[in-house]
Amino acid sequence: AAQVLTDSQREAAGLLRAMTQHLAGLESFSFAFRDGYDVVQPTGQKIEFGEARRVTVARPDRLRVEEVSSDGTHDLALFDGHHIFILNAEEGVFAQAPQPGILDDAIAYFVRDLRLRMPLALLLTTRLPESLPGRLRSIDYVERTEILGRPAHHIAGRAENVDFQFWIEDGERPWPLRVVITYVNSPG
């Protein structure tokens, strides 16, 4: 049976669609972000760790991700249309894997096959507008607010394994200004 959506749900779905289409339609872009994640200790206490990342995308086949972890470790991931390269300067580790093709395929290979972490990887793909709606179980509009001095729409949703929140910039460029993802099946 078709689900009847409320006005709030339709508004949230429209904002999410606009954001995904905007991101997928860009030929190139870059952004910097900080992420944090909790590690549940044997005592049940949660300890937060984090990273600062700088991501540069040039479609169809270029990606650069520079990472500095909270302990100061520097990592670099590159895709040049032919190979994926990973460098951990502190450990002196360099690896490369052949991966010809477009960026979308390289990101899938990086995350799925190599099992490496790439926060927000789905947001970097051109398949985002088609793949995200099919994963949604629910979505709703939370509020109009301000993030980083810019007007934004706060939406929240659920997928099979994650709950998420996006703060999407209001206006012609619907950038995600803030993202919160909760992995509901993770311990703790």
Compute the mean pLDDT over every residue in the chain, rounded to the nearest whole number.
Answer: 92
Residue 140 has pLDDT above 60, yes or no: yes
Residue 22 has pLDDT above 70, yes or no: yes
Q: Where is 55: in which H helix or E strand?
A: strand 46-58
Positive or negative: CA dihedral 101, 104, 110, 115: negative
- Which is nearest to 119 in space by CA: 174, 54, 62, 58? 54
Number of CB atoms found within 10 A of residue 137's CB: 11
The amino acid at residue 167 is W
The pLDDT tens digits for 64-73 are 999 999 999 9
Cα–Cα dist 125/122, whole Å: 6
- How far the first Cα of the chain sits from its last, in Å, is 35
Residue 1 has pLDDT above 60, yes or no: no
Whole-number Cα distances in Å, 144 to 18, 167, 187: 16, 9, 32
pTM, whole model, 2 decimals?
0.87
Residue 13 has pLDDT above 70, yes or no: yes
Using DSSP's 3-state secondary structure scheme, residue 176 falls into strand
**What is the predicted pLDDT for the residue at 28?**
96
Cα–Cα dist 26/13, whole Å: 20
**What is the predicted pLDDT for the residue at 3?**
66
- Which residues make Cβ contacts (< 8 Å) with residue 20, sequence separation at least 6? 128, 129, 132
φ, ψ (nearest 5 deg) of residue 121: -55, -40
The pLDDT tens digits for 94-116 are 999 998 899 999 999 989 998 88
Contact, 145 vs 152, CB < 8 A? Answer: yes
Contact, 12 vs 159, CB < 8 A? Answer: no
* Percent of the chain residues topping a pLDDT of 90: 72
